Every structure is written in structure tokens, then in C-alpha cells.
Amino acid sequence: MKYFNGLLFALFFFSISSFAQQRIVAECTVTYQISLEESNLNKEVQTALQHSSKTVYIKGNDSRVDLNSPSLLQSVIYDKTNGTAVILREFGSNKFMTKLNNKEWRLANKQFDGMTIHFVNETKNILGYECKKAILHLKDSSVFNIYYATTIAPSVREFEYQFKDVPGFVLEFDVKEEGASIVRYKATKINLSPVQASKYDIPTSGYRLLN
């Protein structure tokens, strides 16, 4: 009986220690560099991608992802509380807005249903965080190679739906579709300062609402 109680205590202590080692990050700004590792795209598209950037903002239950390129500015604002999202797109002087309820957001990410995660015994250091490797396999044969920090995790996971089941903060990933190019996103800066609440304000004018 003493052995059994001791075993229970050891398991409980281990689970508490493991959980305590991971910090939930509820305020941060993460900047990602975009690069092409392999490409069969034309030079114009390659140039556009190489001059693009991605920024993630986390604040409590809200997230925002900005993708900036020479021809497109796209922002995805996600509300974890309601499971809703607003997508803002700017093409030159043309501005469009798409609003997605919880069901529509899940439908927009349907391609990730049934995805499998294979954890790999490989690590690398990114911005001072030890990151473990995992490979995500989608049903359409697309593959994500990712590195995630084990000691931190975002307070919002579903904003990048493909990473919602990853046990940490994804700081690097590359995307490869069958027969297509490889695009890599790697975090170059993490700022843990509070994010302005105005980042999550939804415009009330200037955008054409798309269904």
C-alpha cells in the first residue's frame, strides 16, 4: 500500500512539475521571417514572398496575424471566447472584410481535420528557447515541419488552426505541398510587452463586406 501511495505521489509530482515548467504567454508580439527553401515559382512571386513578413499578436483570448507583402496586406483577428474571426484584406486601394462565425471558422480550416502529428527526436535553439521538432501530415499530402518551444505556449491556440494541438509555441515551420515549393517561417523576435487593445478593433467603415 505504501508503494502504491508513493507511486501515486511520484506521478502527481511529475505531472505538476511538467505543467509548471511551461508558461502560458498571454501577451506577446512575435515577428517571423519568410524565406523560400525550394521553389518552382516564377521570379515575381519569389520576390514578393522574400519581401513579405508575418507578425503574430497575442492578448489574452484574442489574437491577430498580419501578413505583409508588396501586393497584399492581410490581417486575421481571432476571438477565442466566441471562436469567431474577421479577415481583412487590402489590395492597393481596395479593402475587403470577411466575418466568420465559429462554424464557418472551423469549416475554413477543414483541411486540417484528421491531421496527424509525428514527434521527432530533434531540437534546435530559436531566440533562446529550446525547440522540439514535429512533422504534421495532412490528408491532402501536405506536410508541415515545425519547431516548437516547450517552455512557452500561447494563450490562444486556434488562431493557427493547424497548430492547435501542438504542445508549445511554434517558432519555426515550413510548408510543403505535393510538387510545390517550400516556404519557411522563422521567428526572429519575441516581445513579451503588453499588446495594445486597439490591435483587435474591427473597422466599421472603409471595407467592403464579403460573404
Contacts of 190 (CB under 8 A, 6+ apart): 28, 29, 30, 127, 171
pTM: 0.84
Mind listing the domains of the chain with CATH numbers?
Answer: 22-197 (2.50.20.10)
Percent of the chain with pLDDT over 70: 82
Count the neighbouring beta carbons within 10 Å of the beta carbon of residue 58: 22
Which set of grid coordinates corresponds to residue 50? Answer: 522574400
Paired with 74 in beta bridges are 67, 89
Mean pLDDT of 124-128: 97
pLDDT at 90 over 60: yes
The closest of 158, 163, 27 to 85, measured between CA atoms, is: 158
- Say how far apart CA 79 and CA 76 lie, in whole Å: 10
Q: Is the pLDDT of residue 3 over 60?
A: no
What are the pLDDT digits (tens) for 133-153? 999 999 988 899 999 999 999
Residue 154 pLDDT class (50, 70, 90 cuts) = very high
**Whether the predicted pLDDT of 26 surpasses 70:** yes
Q: Is the pLDDT confidence value at 61 over 60? A: yes
Q: Is 59 or 72 the better-scoring residue by pLDDT?
A: 59
Query: 70-74, 96-100, 156-160 — which one is most confidently predicted on average?
Result: 96-100
